[in-house]
Amino acid sequence: MKKILILAFILMQTALLLAVFDDYIPSARARALGGAYTGVADDVNSLFFNPAGLINVNYEAQAGFSRLYNQKFSEYKTVAAGVKLPKKLGTVAIGARLFDVNFEDENLMSEQIWSAGHSFNLQSDVHSQISVGYALNYYRLDFSEEEADDAFGLDLGATAILHQRTKLGFSVSNINQAVMGDTNQNELP
| H helix intervals, the chain | 2-14, 28-32, 46-49
Question: Does residue 11 belong to any structural domain of this protein?
Answer: no
Following CA atoms 4, 8, 11, 13 in sequence, which dihedral angle do they give, to the nearest 10 degrees? -140
Question: Does residue 57 belong to any structural domain of this protein?
Answer: yes
CA distance 49 to 29: 12
Contacts of 123 (CB under 8 A, 6+ apart): 129, 130
| Structural domain count of the chain | 1
Question: Does residue 15 belong to any structural domain of this protein?
Answer: no
Contacts of 134 (CB under 8 A, 6+ apart): 51, 117, 118, 119, 154, 155, 156, 157
Q: Residue 127: count other Cβ atoms within 10 Å of its Cβ.
A: 10
Question: Does residue 20 belong to any structural domain of this protein?
Answer: no
Question: Does residue 21 belong to any structural domain of this protein?
Answer: no
**pLDDT value at position 22?**
61
- 170 beta partners: 158
Range of the domain at 108: 38-187
In tens digits, what is the pLDDT along the chain, a chain of 189 residues?
Answer: 778 777 676 766 655 444 556 666 777 787 788 768 888 888 999 999 999 999 999 999 999 988 877 888 888 899 999 999 998 899 999 999 999 998 888 888 999 999 999 999 999 888 899 999 999 999 999 988 888 889 999 999 999 999 888 999 999 999 998 888 777 777 777
Question: Does residue 33 belong to any structural domain of this protein?
Answer: no
Span between the terminal Cα atoms of the chain, in Å: 31
Question: Does residue 12 belong to any structural domain of this protein?
Answer: no
Following CA atoms 22, 78, 170, 176 in sequence, which dihedral angle do they give, to the nearest 10 degrees? -60
CA distance 95 to 116: 6
Residue 50 carries which DSSP code? Answer: -
Question: Does residue 158 belong to any structural domain of this protein?
Answer: yes
Q: What is the side-by-side order of every strand in the sheet holding 59-66?
A: 59-66, 74-84, 91-103, 106-124, 128-143, 149-162, 166-172
Note the Cα 51 to chain centre separation in Å: 9
